[in-house]
Amino acid sequence: SGEASPEELVEAAIARAARLDPELQSIVTPMFEQARARLGQGLAEGPFTGVPTLVKDLTPIAGVPQYRGSRLFLDQIATETHMLVQRMEAAGMVVIGKSATPEFGLLPSTSPRAFPPTRNPWDTERDPGGSSGGAGAAVAAGIVPIAQGSDGGGSIRIPSAACGLFGMKPSRGRLPSPPDPRPVELAVRGFLTRTVRDSQAALSAFEVTDFAFPSVTDEELAARSRLRIAFTTETPGGTALHPDCVKAVQRTAKLCRSLGHVVEEVTPEFHNLETREAMVTLWASGPHALVAEIEAKTGAPPDRPVLEPWTWGLVELFRSRPDPDAALAGAVEQALRATEQAATFHDEYDVLLTSTLGAPPLPSGQPDQSQPFEALLEQVFGFVPYTYVANMTGRPAMSMPLYETKEGLPLGSHFVGRFGEEALLFELARRLEEARPWHDRWPPHSAHGFAAARTVEETPSDSD
C-alpha cells in the first residue's frame, strides 16, 4: 500500500528475527548485511518490492553458505544463485537469510545434528515439521510474511500443517527447478504463506511462462463452483490416523459440502503399499547417488559420523536390494502406474481430501533417529502417510490450517488436484479461507504474541 518503505519492512523483519529466532532457530545463515546492501543498491520494481523473505538452505545463493542441513557441507559456499531466487529478487523481494532444513531435506522434521533443532512457535517443545521447517517456523512466528520452500515428499505441506500455514506444492514443472538426479522428478519449489492470496500471487509471479497448462490464475478453472470431492481417512500403509486428524478430515468434508460441493468418501486405488515402497526406493536413490559420487571422487565413503542415521539407512536400504538398478526401474514403473491411476481417478473427482499429517506436530527431536532403521521408517510414514503420492504423480497439492486440536495445535487439511489445475485449488482454498479464516490465530511465540504480552505488561492492573 506504500504505507511503509522497503527499508522499514526489512529492518522490522531483522528486528523480529533478532528477538524471536534465538528460541526458534529457524535461520541458519543470517543475511542481514546483504539485505541492507541490496536496499542501498535500489530494488527492482515488482509485485513484492521490499517484502523480506527467507530462502531454504537447500537452494543456492552465490557467495552464501549452503549447508544443506549436513555436517558434510559445513564449509560449502554456493557459486551460483538458483533461477527462482533470481526471479524473487527481480520481483523486489529482499532475502534476509537462509532457513533451516534437515539433512538434505530427507526427514519430515527439522532437527539436524549439524545445528540446533528448529522449534515450533505454537509449542517450542515441538518440531515445526520438515523439510522446510525453518521457513514454516519463521512465517508462523511473523518474522517474514512469505518464505521459499521445496517439496520432494511433502516438505512444503508438512511444515504448513504443523505451523498453521497455507502451503501449495505446485505441479511438476510449474516453477524453475534444477534437474533431479532421481529418475522421477519428485522435488519442486514453492512458498509457505499465511494467506491463500500471497501463495497464489507468488506462483503467478514466478511460474515458468512456457508451462503447457493453465495459469495459476486461470479464470475458467476458478469459475468452477461445484466440485466433486473425494475424501478418505484410510492410509496407503494401513496405519491409523490420530483421532484429531480423522476428525479434522471429517469436519473439512462437511465444510466443503456446506459450500455446495459434492463430497463422497472414497479410497483411491493408488493409495497402496506398492506406491509407498516405490517411494522409499526413489527417496533412497538420492543419498545413495551422493555417497557413490563421493566414493568415486575420494576412493572412500564419508566417515560414518558425518552423515545422519536416516541418511545412512536410506543408502544401505538401496544397496541391500538384490539388484538396485532393477529395483529403481520397478519404482519408476510403479510411479507411472500411480500417475495413470490418478488421472483415471480425476476423471470422476476434481479433488482428493485427506489429512496432511498422520498426527499433530511431533515433539522436538522426533522422528527418533536413534531407533532401528525399520522402526524409524514406519514412524516417518506414520507421520506422513499421504503427501508423497502427489510428488510421485506430479500433481498440485495444498495444506490448509482449517482446524486445530483441543490444545490449540494446528492440523492440516490436504487437497490434491489434477495436474496443472492450481487455479481450481486456489479458488477452493479461497472459499474455505473465507468460511473458516485463520488469520487472527497467532502462536504464542510470535511477533503478535510478544506484542500482546507487552500490552498486558504495560497495562496497569485494577490494584494499581
Q: What is the bridge-based pairing of β-strands 410-417 and 52-56? A: unpaired
Amino acid in the structure at residue 123 = D
Amino acid in the structure at residue 205 = A
**Among candidate residues 418, 381, 388, 400, the one with its CA nearest the CA of residue 155:** 388
C-alpha cell at 249: 478430515
Residues 6+ apart with CB under 8 A from 349: 228, 229, 230, 264, 266
Q: Is the peptide bond before 324 cis (omega within 30 degrees of 0)?
A: no
Is 56 catalytic? The answer is yes
Given the residues 56, 171, 177, 413, the one annotated as active site: 56
Kind plus residue range of the DSSP H or E element containing 197 = helix 196-206
Q: Is the peptide bond before 132 cis (omega within 30 degrees of 0)?
A: no
Kind plus residue range of the DSSP H or E element containing 38 = helix 32-41
Given the residues 109, 111, 132, 155, the one annotated as active site: 155
C-alpha cell at 434: 473465507
Given the residues 109, 131, 177, 446, the one annotated as active site: 131
How many whole angstroms separate alpha carbon 414 and alpha carbon 399? Answer: 5
**Among candidate residues 78, 98, 81, the one with its CA nearest the CA of residue 90:** 81
Q: Check if the beta carbon of residue 391 is closer than 8 Å to that of residue 185.
A: no
Residues 6+ apart with CB under 8 A from 185: 172, 177, 394
Is 155 catalytic? The answer is yes
Active site residues: 56, 131, 155
